[in-house]
C-alpha cells in the first residue's frame, strides 16, 4: 500500500509537470558513499553495526518557480553488516526507494547554487542474513542539502548530503532480529541536465 501511494505521488508530479514549460524540466543521476547508522535490532536494544557502502540514484523533475523544484527519485543503497551485539556476522542490507522530493534553490551571485530539500516515499529494505533474505516495504523520509555548480550551459555538477530513514523494518523472527532501525547517511556526487 505504501509503495502504491508513493508511486501515485510521483505520477501526480509528472501529470502536474505537463503544465510547465519544457525549459523547466531537468533530469540527473548520482553516485554515493553511504553509511547505515548503528541501530537497535529488537525490543531488547541489541545494536547492529554496518560497514560503509555504495549507492546510486536517478531523478527527473521540474521547476514550479524559479527557485522551487519538485522531482521523482529512484535510489539504491547497499551495506555489509559488520556485527550484532559485538559479534561479527555475515550479512548485507540493501534498500530500493521511490521518493517524491521538493527542493528550494538559493540563487547567489556566483556559479555555486546551494539547495535544501525533503522527500517522502516508500522503500523496499532487504536484510540478507546467513543466506536468507528478509524484505519489508516501509514508509521512507529524507532530507537533503548541498550545492550545484555549472560545468556547461545546461549541465550542473551536484554535491550533497542525504539523511534517509524509514519505519522500523521487520526482519524474520528466525534470526531473532525483530524490528530493525534503518537510518542511512550518504554523500553524493552527480550530474544534472536542464532541458
36-87 per-position pLDDT tens digit: 999 888 756 788 999 999 999 999 999 998 899 999 999 999 999 999 888 8
What pLDDT, in 10s, does the model give residues 107-141?
888 899 999 999 999 999 999 988 888 999 999 99
Output the nine-digit C-alpha cell for 173.
523472527
* CB burial readout 127-165, b (16+ within 10 A) else e: bbbeeeebbbbbebebebebbbeeeeeeebebebebebb
Cα separation, 152 vs 160, whole angstroms: 19
Contact 39, 181 (CB under 8 A): yes
Per-residue pLDDT band at 179 (split at 50, 70, 90): confident
The structure's pTM equals 0.86
Residue found by looking up cell 529494505 in the block: 125
In order of their start, the domains of the chain are 2-194 (2.40.160.20)
What pLDDT, in 10s, does the model give residues 6-45?
555 555 555 554 444 445 899 999 999 999 999 888 756 7
- Supply the pLDDT for residue 132: 86
Cα separation, 42 vs 158, whole angstroms: 38
Amino acid at each position: 500500500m505504501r509503495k502504491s501511494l508513493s508511486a501515485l505521488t510521483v505520477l501526480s508530479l509528472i501529470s502536474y509537470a505537463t503544465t510547465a514549460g519544457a525549459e523547466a524540466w531537468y533530469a540527473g543521476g548520482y553516485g554515493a558513499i553511504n553509511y547505515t547508522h548503528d541501530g537497535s535490532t529488537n525490543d531488547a536494544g541489541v545494536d547492529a553495526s554496518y560497514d560503509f557502502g555504495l549507492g546510486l540514484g536517478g531523478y527527473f523533475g521540474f521547476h514550479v518557480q524559479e527557485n522551487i523544484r519538485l522531482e521523482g527519485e529512484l535510489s539504491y543503497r547497499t551495506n555489509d553488516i559488520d556485527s550484532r551485539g559485538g559479534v561479527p556476522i555475515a550479512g548485507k542490507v540493501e534498500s530500493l526507494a521511490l521518493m517524491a522530493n521538493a527542493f528550494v534553490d538559493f540563487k547567489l551571485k556566483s556559479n555555486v547554487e546551494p539547495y535544501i530539500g525533503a522527500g517522502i516515499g516508500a522503500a523496499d529494505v532487504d536484510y540478507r542474513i546467513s543466506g536468507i533474505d528478509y524484505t519489508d516495504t516501509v514508509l521512507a523520509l529524507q532530507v537533503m542539502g548541498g550545492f550545484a555548480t555549472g560545468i556547461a550551459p545546461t549541465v550542473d555538477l551536484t554535491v550533497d548530503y542525504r539523511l534517509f530513514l524509514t519505519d522500523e523494518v521487520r526482519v524474520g523472527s528466525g534470526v531473532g532480529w525483530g524490528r530493525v532501525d534503518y537510518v542511512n547517511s550518504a554523500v553524493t556526487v552527480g550530474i544534472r541536465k536542464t532541458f
